[in-house]
Amino acid sequence: MALYQATASAPVNIACIKYWGKRDTALILPTNSSLSVTLSQDHLRSTTSSRADASFAQGDRLWLNGKEEEIKAGGRTATCLAALRKWRKEVEEGDASEPKMSEWPLRIASYNNFPTAAGLASSASGLAALVASVSQLYQLPQTPSELSLIARQGSGSACRSLFGGFVAWRMGARDDGADSLAVQVAPREHWPEMHALICVVSDAKKGTSSTSGMQKTVATSTLLQHRIKHVVPQRMDEIERAIAERDFDAFAKLTMRDSNSFHAVCLDTEPPIFYLNDVSRAIIAVVEELNRASVAQGNGLVAAYTFDAGPNAVIYTLEANMPLIVNTINEYFPQTQAFPDPFKMLDKAHIAKPEGFNPAVVREGGWEKGAVSRLIHTTVGDGPRRLGDEESLLNESGEPKTLA
């Protein structure tokens, strides 16, 4: 008997123009558009297997990293699965020979290859992998942009993980959200020199969740109103131009300013939300000083930092400057885990800081070991991948395999 199953992986995306605030919380419609870079699945990915079988006991079941999660009726996962089933039903209605998978229970297993404790947003890649996997299982004809409408309802920024490269989430104008979707602004091949370094910053306390933080900002921040009316629309145009022209200076300036604008509206929220900590701010100081010294030498900016709803820094830089960035971060923020250097670049390229770099911007002697626990070096990457059955996360009985 045929086995109806599919396995897909999906990438993490890190925004340069941040999404912060919903105009409709049920449909997850943003107050503004946003733009992100998709990171390579060679380093960070969510993988999801799904299977439909008429013989499964009633009710869908889902496992995340081997642990069963309840699919709450009316919750976000249930909403996504209902929307995917509706499109599957259209396929079945168009061709009577198609198996009636839309009526069968689903078994879904998902796995993130990075620790949730690392504080990297796993919901975006996870939801994108779920939508990619079930849409492959159902053999849906919809485009990635159309599928992004469903991923968006699972977790807003997940819609951007349905594409590789440089991706915009267009806010749309309609009340039903039918035009609030992701589009690719440029493929990764357009600017493959774009690399990223994730600095995992240890933080004992649990920050405000982005879902609740965001709506507190919408309800109380006057600065957010200025941001959405006068700042973001213009920045979206400018960053798309910077990407089209591969203008790193403009890209870096916009990315850093938008990260700072986002954290400013968090601070302007009542009660205030703090996502950055002292280590995050020290990383900002180091990157700002590298840039200042480089520009003073008549050269361009070397890197751009950006921070989401947590203390981890993501530093975008062009490939040629990555050895300098890694060495500088290593010098001031020694890690507990040795840097794996996946691109073998540390020993062969220039690492000298620009002349005039002022080491006093960071506290003397640098930070204690482990303030940054690890570094992940990656690049701009591709969109969801279709994987073979041999990579399935489900065993014969439709339960998660125990991963070695």
Please report, as ranges, the residues that interact with ligand NAG according to CB under 6 A. 31-33, 171, 228-229, 232-233, 236, 395-397, 399-400, 402
Q: How far is the CB of 397 from ligand NAG (least distance, A)?
A: 4
Q: How far is the CB of 17 from ligand NAG (least distance, A)?
A: 9
CB-based burial, 131-168: b 16+ in 10 Å, e otherwise: bbbbbbbbebebebeebbbbbbbbbbbbbbbbbbbbbb
Reported residue count of the chain is 404
Interatomic CA distance for residues 214 and 284, integer angstroms: 23
H/E element holding 5? Answer: strand 4-11
Question: Closer to ligand NAG at the Cβ: 358 or 395?
Answer: 395
Question: Closer to ligand NAG at the Cβ: 149 or 394?
Answer: 394
Q: How far is the CB of 140 from ligand NAG (least distance, A)?
A: 28
The residue to which tokens 């849409």 are assigned: 135
Question: Closer to ligand NAG at the Cβ: 19 or 87?
Answer: 19
Q: How far is the CB of 301 from ligand NAG (least distance, A)?
A: 25
Question: Closer to ligand NAG at the Cβ: 126 or 400?
Answer: 400
- What does 53-68 look like in DSSP terms, one character per residue? -TTSPSS-EEEETTEE
Question: Closer to ligand NAG at the Cβ: 258 or 289?
Answer: 258
Helices 232-244, 248-267: axis angle to 10 degrees equals: 160
Question: Closer to ligand NAG at the Cβ: 234 or 358?
Answer: 234
Q: How far is the CB of 30 from ligand NAG (least distance, A)?
A: 8
Q: How far is the CB of 402 from ligand NAG (least distance, A)?
A: 6
Q: How far is the CB of 145 from ligand NAG (least distance, A)?
A: 17
Question: Closer to ligand NAG at the Cβ: 209 or 397?
Answer: 397
Residues 144, 169 contacting (CB under 8 angstroms)? no
H/E element holding 69? Answer: strand 67-69
The CA-atom distances, in angstroms, between 160 and each of 125, 265, 305, 317, 356 are 9, 23, 20, 21, 40
Sheet holding 45-52, edge to edge: 67-69, 61-64, 106-112, 45-52, 4-11, 385-387
Q: Answer positive or negative: Cα dihedral of 31, 134, 132, 396.
A: positive
Q: How far is the CB of 19 from ligand NAG (least distance, A)?
A: 10
Interatomic CA distance for residues 361 and 121, integer angstroms: 30
Question: Closer to ligand NAG at the Cβ: 236 or 301?
Answer: 236
- SS3 state at 181: strand
